[in-house]
Amino acid sequence: MTTEQIIFLIVAGATLASGLLVVTSRNLIHAALWLVATLFGVAIVYTLLNAGFMAVVQVVVYIGAIAILFIFAVMLTRKDMRDSGAQLNSNWWAGALMAVLTFGGLFAMLRTWGGMSKTAAEIPAGFDQIAELGAQLTSPEAYVLPFEVASVLLLAAMVGAVYLAFNKK
């Protein structure tokens, strides 16, 4: 095993563990902090894949903006942080069954995949990642449609938030 593979396995384990703690934590603030750790692990994986721009975007947008905004919103509402409802859904077994089936399918698929022993290709000298990303996002042959759909969805969410904020009761 190479050093990059060992770092990847350590980061992947820490990211999975913190992701599990996000959904099992009883305290909302703790769950948000575990979410920050999970998103930081994803940024490290982007760095290992030589996707520096995506790693920076992950840290700035997801950790720096969304997660911190979530923490501030929870802290500013000053509500009781303890759950008052039932802690166990009556259909928990269906979710557990789907999780086991998904894990089993992924395990079976990855068991025969030879990509675990490969490393990322070297980036040629003079390659501009940001220019290539911009060209791919705006090219009609590439990702312009998903990019525009995402922008329309974000616009609809913003309009809905403004409507709910100014809705008279």
pLDDT band of 78, cuts 50, 70, 90? low
Task: Give tens-digit pLDDT for 15-57.
Answer: 999 999 998 888 888 888 899 999 999 999 999 988 888 898 8
Task: Give tens-digit pLDDT for 53-70.
Answer: 889 888 888 888 887 777
Contact 38, 19 (CB under 8 A): yes
Asked if the model's pLDDT at residue 84 lies above 80, the reply is no
* Dist. CA 19–CA 109, nearest whole Å: 22
Share of the chain above pLDDT 70, in %: 89
Q: What is the mean pLDDT of the chain?
A: 84
* Dist. CA 8–CA 47, nearest whole Å: 10
Task: Give tens-digit pLDDT for 98-121.
Answer: 999 999 999 998 888 877 777 767
pLDDT band of 151, cuts 50, 70, 90? confident
pLDDT band of 82, cuts 50, 70, 90? low
Asked if the model's pLDDT at residue 77 lies above 80, the reply is no
Contact 37, 43 (CB under 8 A): no
CA atoms lying within 13 Å on the CB side of residue 50: 9
Contact 74, 32 (CB under 8 A): yes
